[in-house]
């Protein structure tokens, strides 16, 4: 069942099993606000079990850097806006991964990592440097990224 993320009344729906559920819900709401403000797009998630294809695609992109996320995936979002495919995975640990994949050859393609307030950097992402950003919805967000080199 899909969930339209509300960035005004932040809810932990679908994220309750996370030890940082409130912060992860704020992070998810922060993403929803971004897409609403920039593209007038309604950010919708589904349980990870209902989006096995998207989850497998994100895992293939991560394999480019030999990254395998240990935490279970809770929710997934996959959509296209203005010629870019966006795929999000929200993990139980509080990690959010997004894949920005421009559909035209030579366009931007990258993977972004965001850590919820209160979570430690997962061992599998220890090689990355994380920058901090303040958010009214999510507290302090730590983020990093890498550019995708392959074709997916």
pLDDT digits (tens, 9 = 90+) for 3-22: 999 999 999 999 999 999 99
Please give the chain's pLDDT, 152 residues, in tens. 899 999 999 999 999 999 999 999 999 999 999 999 999 999 999 999 999 999 999 999 999 999 999 999 999 999 999 999 999 999 999 999 999 999 999 999 999 999 999 899 999 999 999 999 999 989 899 999 999 999 99
CA distance 65 to 125: 10
- The pTM assigned to this predicted structure is 0.96
Neighbours of 72 (CB within 10 A): 11
Which of these, 37, 34, 41, lies nearest to 80 by C-alpha position? 41
At 1 the pLDDT is 87
Count other C-beta atoms under 10 Å from residue 57's C-beta. 18
Task: Output the pLDDT for position 71.
Answer: 97
Q: What is the pLDDT of residue 16?
A: 97
25 exposed, middle or buried (CB, 10 Å; 0-12, 13-18, 19+)?
Answer: buried
pLDDT of residue 78: 98
- Using the structure block, give the residue that is written with the tokens 């606000």: 33
């Amino acid at each position: 069942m899909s969930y339209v993320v509300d960035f005004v009344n932040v809810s932990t729906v679908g994220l309750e099993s996370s030890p940082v559920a409130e912060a992860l819900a704020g992070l998810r709401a922060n993403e929803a606000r971004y897409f609403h403000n920039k593209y007038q797009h309604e950010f919708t998630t589904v349980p990870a079990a209902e989006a096995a294809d998207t989850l497998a695609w994100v895992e293939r992109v991560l394999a480019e850097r030999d990254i395998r996320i240990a935490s279970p995936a809770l929710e997934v979002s996959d959509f296209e806006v203005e010629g870019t495919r966006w795929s999000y995975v929200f993990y139980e640990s509080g990690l959010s991964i997004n894949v920005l994949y421009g559909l035209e050859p030579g366009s931007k393609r990258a993977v972004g990592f965001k850590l919820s307030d209160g979570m430690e950097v997962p061992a599998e992402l220890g090689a990355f440097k994380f920058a901090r950003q303040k958010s009214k919805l999510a507290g302090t967000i730590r983020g990093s990224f890498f550019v995708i080199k392959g074709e997916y």
